[in-house]
Homo-oligomer: A and B are copies of this chain.
């Protein structure tokens, strides 16, 4: 847990947005707090589905899961999150950390009946229907992870577009049983459609403006390059993993003569030579990928850092978020909302290169890319 104090919530974003110096530790505290609030909101409208009371087992469980959901995060958060040794991922690391004796022991002393296995099961999606509902509080379309990071990151970055009306959203949330599948999910009543739209748009803006920021992406690419050069990866073994955080990696980069470490430590990163529009179609994406091998041949792999930013603005369709009309009828969120239907997937390429090659790379890419439209 305390290790998260030394992992920047937004990787290198603090070098672009000076306020973004907050850690993943503050995020998980916020997520835990919101998990209690969402639980209470669902409980109040659940007709006995969830037991009330500040210390009910279900409420403590969902708060514990929110607190612990990010302990497996690698240094610099999402910046290089695929570099785990042994082919494991972030979720697997969380499971391994939960199984450490220290954590087991902490649960035994203060868990009042909760065990790490309960948390692990919830983080994996939950067992029975009630747990599957609780699991959505921590991970789903309307989860506390998203609610906290949007409000927190927009506050710390000093941008207004990441905010939404949290109180209104909480007031209008309710558990809804999907009549087709019989599964319980988190939905909103009709009065909450606008608040939920605002959350989706806040997320859209945060991805396009902050999380996929052109400079931040450059620094992430350099980090990945540097780790590759050093033959480094995130330890698969939990004790060793706990030693790795932003402080340890930053210290190592300071000592390293590598061009990629200098790029980060001195903020002297490769400039962007080319970037596509924000919403490539799948065909355009394929066409761009097809250009890259030729570019690598011309300029050398080490001289082309390629960023592939991609994100769905929401998954309302697959996650079946339902809206309960004032007359009691149900409607999928993507039908209730005009805006949400029209948001398209973010898909953008950027190519960074050393300054001397910039013009040549830019010209080559522009020519080949534009020729596809003739």
Contact = CB atoms under 8 A, between A and B. Distances in A.
A250 interface: yes
Contacts of A21: 5, 21-23, 26
B19 A198 contact: no
A181 interface: no
A341 to B, nearest CB: 9
A73 to B, nearest CB: 16
Interface stretch (A160-168, A298-306, A353-361): A160-168
Given A194-B161, A247-B247, A26 B19 contact: yes
A2 interface: yes
Contact of A247 (B25, B165, B250): B250
A338 B343 CA distance: 9
A239 to B, nearest CB: 15
Given A251-B248, A251-B251, A14 B5 contact: yes
A29 interface: yes
A264 to B, nearest CB: 12
A358 to B, nearest CB: 15
A352 B164 CA distance: 34
Contacts of A15: 5
A256 to B, nearest CB: 14
Nearest to A168: B160
Contacts of A247: 247, 250-251, 254
Contacts of A165: 159-161
Copy tally for this chain in the complex stands at: 4
A267 interface: yes
A254 B161 CA distance: 39
A39 to B, nearest CB: 16
Interface in A328-374: 338-339, 342, 344
A107 interface: no
A100 interface: no
Given A251-B251, A342-B342, A29 B23 contact: no
A243 B330 CA distance: 46
A14 to B, nearest CB: 7
A368 B237 CA distance: 54
A102 to B, nearest CB: 12
B22 A26 contact: no
A201 B342 CA distance: 14
A165 B163 CA distance: 11
B250 A2 contact: no
A114 interface: no
B22 A29 contact: no
Contacts of A184: none
A309 B266 CA distance: 38
A44 interface: yes
A209 interface: yes
B168 A194 contact: no
A14 B209 CA distance: 28
9 contacts: A2-B267, A18-B26, A160-B168, A161-B194, A247-B251, A279-B338, A338-B342, A339-B339, A339-B342
Given A21-B22, A279-B338, 16 more contacts: A2-B267, A18-B25, A18-B26, A18-B29, A21-B21, A21-B23, A159-B165, A160-B165, A160-B198, A161-B194, A161-B198, A194-B205, A194-B209, A247-B250, A247-B254, A339-B342
